[in-house]
Amino acid sequence: MAAVLFLLLLKSVSVISPMRTPAKTRPMTTLLEQAIDQLRKCSPAEQDTIAALILEELADETRWDEAFAASQPEIEQLAEKVRAKTRSGQTRDMRIEDL
């Protein structure tokens, strides 16, 4: 339970972000310091569970960042195709009811 709450806390304050800038070392925020102080009160097993969840989440964010960055050329190509079709009149306006 504590692990889930901690991850929700991390996500709610945007500590984990796909747009984060890599850095070797940064000072921790006050909120993160408070969370870690609370974690120190947990049993070693709870601390390890929470640490594993955090590391898993960070690894997932890194994979997402890498996949997103690698897909940019394809996304730009698709966007250009849409722009070209729009310029040439090959698209039409649709309402949600038309779907």
| Sequence ranges of the domains in the chain | 34-88
Average pLDDT score, the chain: 82
Q: How many other C-beta atoms are found inside a 10 Å radius of the C-beta of residue 21?
A: 6
Which 3 state secondary structure label does DSSP give 41?
Answer: coil
The pLDDT score that the predictor gives to residue 49 is 94
Q: What number is the average pLDDT over the span 71-92?
A: 91
| CA-wise closest residue to 33 among 15, 20, 48, 46 | 15
20 versus 59: the higher-pLDDT residue is 59
Q: 0.75 exceeded by the pTM? A: no
The pLDDT score that the predictor gives to residue 98 is 82
For the segment 41-80, what is each residue's pLDDT rounded down to a tens digit?
999 999 999 999 999 999 999 999 999 888 998 989 999 9
Alpha-carbon distance values, 51 to 4, 61, 65, 96, 97 (Å): 11, 15, 21, 44, 47
The pLDDT score that the predictor gives to residue 12 is 53
